[in-house]
Amino acid sequence: MSINDFWIILTASLVALCCAIPGCFLVLRRMAMFGDAISHAVLPGLVVAYLISGSRASSVLLLGAAITGLLVTFIIEFIQKKMRVQNDAAIGITYTFLFAVGVILISLFAGQTDLDQECVLYGEIAFVPFDTITLDSGLLLGPRQVWIAGGMLLILLVILRIGYRGLYLTTFDAGYASTLGVSVMLWHYVLMGMVSLATVVSFESVGAIMVIAFLVGPAATAALFAKRLPWMIAIAASIGVLSSIFGYFLAVVLNASVSGSIAVMIGVIFALALLLKRFFPS
Amino acid sequence: MIIQTENPSIEAHNLTVIYHRKPVLWNIDFTLPKGQIIGIMGPNGAGKSSLIKAILGLVPVNSGYAKIFGKSFDEVRQKVSYIPQRQTVDWDFPATVQDVVLMGRYQQRGLFGKITQEDKVLAASALEKVNLGGFVNRQISQLSGGQQQRVFIARALAQQAELYLLDEPFVGVDAATEQAIIALLQQMKSEGKTIVVVHHDLHTAKEYFDWLVLLNASLIASGPTSEVFTEELLKSTYSGKLTVLSQVGDQLRERNFPVREA
Higher pLDDT, B262 or A100: A100
The dihedral over CA atoms of B53, B59, B62, B65, expressed in degrees to the nearest 10, equals: 40
The dihedral over CA atoms of A63, A68, A72, A73, expressed in degrees to the nearest 10, equals: 20
The number of domains in chain A is 1
- Report the pLDDT value the prediction gives residue B245, as an integer from 0 to 100: 52
Interface test mutation site (partner B, options A81, A171, A173, A282, max chain B beta carbons within 10 A): A173
pLDDT band at B242 (very low <50, low <70, confident <90, very high): very low
Q: Is residue A237 part of a domain?
A: yes
Residue B60 has pLDDT above 70, yes or no: yes
Residue A273's domain comprises 3-121+143-279
d(CA B213, CA B123): 32
| Chains A–B, number of C-beta pairs less than 8 Å apart | 69
Q: Which of A162, A178, A232 comes nearest B112 by C-beta? A: A162
Q: Tell whether B107 lies on the interface with A, counting CB pairs under 8 A.
A: yes
Q: Is residue A135 part of a domain?
A: no
Q: Tell whether B93 lies on the interface with A, counting CB pairs under 8 A.
A: yes
Residue B243 has pLDDT above 60, yes or no: no
- Report the pLDDT value the prediction gives residue B211, as an integer from 0 to 100: 95
**Interchain proximity B107–A181, CB inside 8 Å:** yes
Q: Which residues of B touch A179 (CB under 8 A)?
A: 56-58, 77, 80-82
Q: Is residue A131 part of a domain?
A: no
pLDDT band at B252 (very low <50, low <70, confident <90, very high): low
Region A242-269: mean pLDDT is: 93
Which of the 8 DSSP states describes residue A41?
A: H
Do A125 and A258 touch, CB atoms closer than 8 A? yes
B63 CA: distance to closest CA in chain A (Å): 19
Q: Is residue A239 part of a domain?
A: yes
d(CA B108, CA A82): 35
pLDDT band at B261 (very low <50, low <70, confident <90, very high): very low
Q: Which residues of B touch A172 (CB under 8 A)?
A: 89-90, 93, 95, 100, 103
Q: Is residue A55 part of a domain?
A: yes
**A25: domain CATH number?**
1.10.3470.10
- Report the pLDDT value the prediction gives residue B22, as an integer from 0 to 100: 84
d(CA B3, CA B48): 19
- Report the pLDDT value the prediction gives residue A253, as an integer from 0 to 100: 94
pLDDT tens for residues B192-210? 999 999 998 888 888 999 9
Residue A234 has pLDDT above 90, yes or no: yes
pLDDT tens for residues A74-93? 898 888 888 888 888 888 88
- Report the pLDDT value the prediction gives residue A272, as an integer from 0 to 100: 95
pLDDT band at A2 (very low <50, low <70, confident <90, very high): confident
B15 CA: distance to closest CA in chain A (Å): 19
Do A43 and A98 touch, CB atoms closer than 8 A? yes
d(CA A35, CA A40): 9
Determine what percent of chain B is predicted with pLDDT higher than 70.
91
Q: Is residue A130 part of a domain?
A: no
Residue A35 has pLDDT above 80, yes or no: yes
- Report the pLDDT value the prediction gives residue B156, as an integer from 0 to 100: 95
**Interchain proximity A226–B84, CB inside 8 Å:** no
**Interchain proximity B95–A176, CB inside 8 Å:** no
Where do runs of H (alpha helix) occur along chain A? Answer: 3-28, 32-41, 43-53, 59-82, 87-108, 117-122, 144-172, 174-179, 184-225, 229-254, 258-279
pLDDT tens for residues B106-164? 988 888 888 899 999 999 999 999 999 999 999 999 999 999 999 999 999 999 999 99
Task: Please give the domain boundaries of chain B with CATH numbers for all domains.
Answer: 10-254 (3.40.50.300)
Q: Is residue A97 part of a domain?
A: yes
A interface toward B at CB cutoff 8 Å? 28, 30, 84, 162-163, 165-166, 169, 171-173, 175-176, 178-182, 223, 226-229, 231-232
pLDDT tens for residues A165-216? 999 999 999 999 999 999 999 999 999 999 999 998 888 788 877 889 999 9
Q: Is residue A194 part of a domain?
A: yes
pLDDT tens for residues A133-150? 777 777 777 888 898 899
- Report the pLDDT value the prediction gives residue A32, as an integer from 0 to 100: 87
**Interchain proximity B95–A179, CB inside 8 Å:** no
Q: Tell whether B111 lies on the interface with A, counting CB pairs under 8 A.
A: yes
Residue B262 has pLDDT above 50, yes or no: no
pLDDT tens for residues B19-50? 887 889 999 999 999 999 999 999 888 899 99
Across chain A, mean pLDDT equals 88
